[in-house]
Chain A
Amino acid sequence: MPHPDDEMLAALASGEPVPAEVTDHVSDCPTCAADIAAVRHVLAVARTVESVPSWDAPPDGVWGAIVAEVDAEPAGDVAPHRSSAPLRTVAQRDTSDGHISPAGTAADAGTAAERRSPHGWMKNKRLLRWTVGAAAAGLLVGILGGRLVDQQPQTGVTVSSVALDTLDTQQRVGSAQVLRMDNRLNLKIETTPLEAPHDEYLEVWLINTDKKRMVSVGILGSGEQAASFPIQPDLLEQGYTIVDISREPLDDKPAHSGDSLARGKLPV
């Protein structure tokens, strides 16, 4: 039989007798079992509430503070500004100086596309392999420009922040924060230790809300719980607000592997 409708499932979840064919179907259908669990969860959590609050609004100052923050935004900025010069879909890595520079990639996103070449990428790959190896051995100190930020106390102002959740189960695994310090923006990632297999590595991306363009922000060491990467100040305005952590194989494809571990959209 087809899936019973929501109301039939609610009936079953709330203990009403239902036709035998419904119980038969449900006992063998993970989708319906999950639906029933969701209704039972509603019943269970409602019954844990011991005292119903007054639902009174917070003190008056809170609304005033909201108005002040909203007023501080540029007037008329209703639609997000999008760049007229499209970036490439693939990741852009700065290969001009022969170093892996996650800082350079996102910070030079507009021009790095022209500089990237297959040859440069291959050279990068070898360096990357070395870098990942060094990170695994605990030798990586200040090689990636972006990490230097972590050696100073974080005194930046939080511009935006978002939780990073797994795509399938929406389980929270960390957070991303955009911090402004002296007109420079840093993307700070904090996660529970995310493991990459020995032949893969973790890469941080900013994906455009158009879901077509993205830039590579940098590499997150396997098991690393906090990292900070400089980003070009206008990336967020251009719509690059979706923070994504992917697992990348050590291959010759610079584009996103499609294997996302976690994601979150920065409110801008």
Chain B
Amino acid sequence: MPNRAAPESAATDIAERLRDGSREALAEAYTHWAGLVYAIALKALQDHHDAEDVTQQVFVSAWRSRETLRIGPDVFPGWLVGIARHRISDVLLGRRRAVRDVTAVAARLDPSEAHPVEEAVDGLFVVHELHHLGEPRGTVVRLFVLEDCTHEEIARQLDMPLGTVKSHVRRGLSRLRHRLEETNYASS
């Protein structure tokens, strides 16, 4: 099956080798996360051609700025998605410039305005990471977040102590939050 994201230890390993200049690590990163980057770009840009371009640029940028990559357990996919954010913004800015709609650019950059594209990117990334939290935590947190189950319902459904369910939800949410924050740190 294409593009299954790597377990966490593998993500750290790929990140370390990529930083050290390994082309194989770039290929592995592409295998694991090109689908995520492409899905996000497609959602944000609604155009296959632009989404393919952005995916290409993200991995080329990742290669070129590999030395800025920090190594940590929740860092790597967020770093790639952070680069994707920049490339997506570039495309959106270019489009708006193309129609000379300066007002629209200003409105998009107004912090008081809602950012539907940003939210869509955040949402897809969180859902992707929800499927790669490891088990059984992933199942617990998915039930809580996506199915809107209560802690008690999850405990009954999975035949798991209530305290364990709560602990998984807390840790899972906390990790998702840190992974999402990583998408804001990519510099390129």
Contacts and interface: CB of A to CB of B under 8 A. Distances in A.
Contacts of A22: none
B139 interface: no
A47 B56 contact: no
Interface in A32-57: 35, 38-39, 41-43, 45-49, 52-57
Is the contact region of chain A dominated by helix, strand, or loop, or is it mixed? mixed
Interface in A54-105: 54-59, 61-63, 65-66, 69-70, 73, 78-80
Contact of A43 (B61, B145, B151, B188): B145
A23 B56 CA distance: 46
Contact of A268 (B3, B23, B64): B64
A162 B109 contact: no
A7 B123 contact: no
B35 A45 contact: no
A180 interface: no
Is the contact region of chain B dominated by helix, strand, or loop, or is it mixed? helix
A interface bracket (residues with beta carbon within 8 Å of B): 35 or more
A175 B93 contact: yes
A135 interface: no
A66 B62 CA distance: 11
Contact of A49 (B38, B90, B127): B127
A69 B60 contact: yes
A95 to B, nearest CB: 33
Contacts of B67: 79-80
Contacts of B151: 16
Given A69-B60, A70-B23, A268-B64, A58 B36 contact: no
A256 interface: no
Interface string A129-162: 0000000000000000000000000000000111
Contact of A66 (B38, B60, B111, B187): B60
B15 interface: no
Contacts of B130: 46
B59 interface: yes
Contacts of B127: 46, 49, 52
List the 7 closest A-B pairs by CB distance, nearest first: A55-B35, A267-B188, A265-B187, A45-B123, A78-B21, A53-B39, A7-B170
Interface of B: 2-3, 20-21, 23, 26-27, 30-31, 34-36, 38-39, 42-43, 51-52, 55-56, 59-61, 63-65, 67-68, 86, 89-90, 93, 102, 105-106, 109, 111, 119-120, 122-124, 126-128, 130, 144-146, 148, 151, 166-167, 169-171, 173-174, 176-178, 180-181, 184, 187-188
Given A7-B171, A162-B187, A267-B188, 7 more contacts: A8-B170, A45-B119, A53-B39, A56-B38, A69-B60, A78-B21, A267-B64
